[in-house]
Amino acid sequence: MSDYNYDEFSTGDYDLDNFRGPRVGQKAPDFELQDVNGAARRLLDFDGEFLVLELGSITCPLFQGRRKSMGSLKQHFPNVDFAILYVREAHPGKSIGAHKSYAEKQTVAQRLRTEDGEQRTILVDDIEGTAHSAFGGYPNAVFIINKKGCVVFNADWNNPEATAKALKLLLKGKPANVKSYFKPVPPPMVARTMGRSGKGSFLDFLKGLPVLIWKNLIRRNFLLLINRRPAIGPDADC
């Protein structure tokens, strides 16, 4: 097994300067995955006008902090499909550690449904993170994909407000020229998520916090501010 499923979080596990996921206008990678019940599901086999795919894990404070807002989006856009790609644990600890097997990963992912009440489709990536890597490897990226499998909106860090604006534009037949700024989650959410993960996770997070603030909250948002956001039509074929 590779070191993909790290035991301790480090900012060095992520290329925070270059997001390598599929860009707007590119084909979204497709995979045969399993949901939390073990049923086979094709990632790009969806019925809605678009698929909103969010990457996440139970130990990611950003993902956990967005879940309520993303659940509201699911209710407000009934003609759109929403799915979660369950990836490696962002902040493993003593209670919820790095995945040692696919069965373990699926069991932890299932807790999103049974304990957290998550209603979106949860697709579990393989133990080596093949789909996660193909979608850029970040812990909480989001992609909107059209029926032709084309990425029509993406954000390396999900911002539900921006995702909602993008969906509204796309459903009106317009390009989703929306800038998705990085927003941290409240400290209590961080504390709850780390507490659930267990001993070690919070200390690892604190060690990386200065880098996270600089590269995500400051540098990334500034570059997003001064640069144009690529956008294509909702029915684009790539």
Taking the chain (238 residues) in consecutive chunks of 10 residues, what is each chunk's mean pLDDT? Answer: 87 95 97 96 96 98 98 97 98 98 97 97 98 98 98 98 98 97 96 97 96 97 94 94
- The answer to whether 125 touches 133, Cβ cutoff 8 Å, is no
Q: Is 15 within 8 Å of 99 (Cβ atoms)? A: no
Chain length of the chain: 238
Start-to-end C-alpha separation, the chain: 34
Q: Is the pTM of this model over 0.95?
A: yes
Sign of CA dihedral 123, 126, 129, 134: negative
C-alpha triplet 137, 156, 47: angle, nearest 5°? 85
Q: Rounded to an integer, what distance in angstroms lies between the CA atom of residue 191 and that of residue 212? A: 17
> Is residue 110 classed as helix, strand or coil in its secondary structure?
helix
Task: Specify the pLDDT at position 4.
Answer: 97
pLDDT value of position 1: 42
Query: Which H or E run includes 51?
Result: strand 50-56
Cβ neighbours of residue 30 under 8 Å, at least 6 residues apart? 42, 43, 44, 149
- Distance of alpha carbon 229 from alpha carbon 104, whole angstroms: 39
Q: Could you tell me which residues come within 8 angstroms of residue 172 by beta carbon, excluding any fewer than 6 positions away?
A: none
